[in-house]
Homo-oligomer: A and B are copies of this chain.
Amino acid sequence: MKISARNQIAGTVLSVTKGATTSHVKLKLTGGETITASITNEAVDELGLKEGMKATAIVKASDVMIGVG
Residues of chain A whose beta carbon lies under 8 Å from any beta carbon of chain B: 1-10, 17-25, 27, 29-33, 35-40, 42-44, 46-49, 53-69
**A40–B6 touching, CB < 8 Å:** yes
Bound together, the chains give a CA A22 to CA B14 distance in angstroms of 19
**B30–A30 touching, CB < 8 Å:** no
Give the secondary structure class of A's interface.
strand
Bound together, the chains give a CA A68 to CA B7 distance in angstroms of 14
**A40–B43 touching, CB < 8 Å:** no
Instruction: Kindly provide the distance from the CB of A11 to the nearest chain B CB, expressed in whole angstroms.
Output: 9
| A4 surroundings in chain B (CB, below 8 A) | 37, 39-40, 43-44, 46-47, 65-67
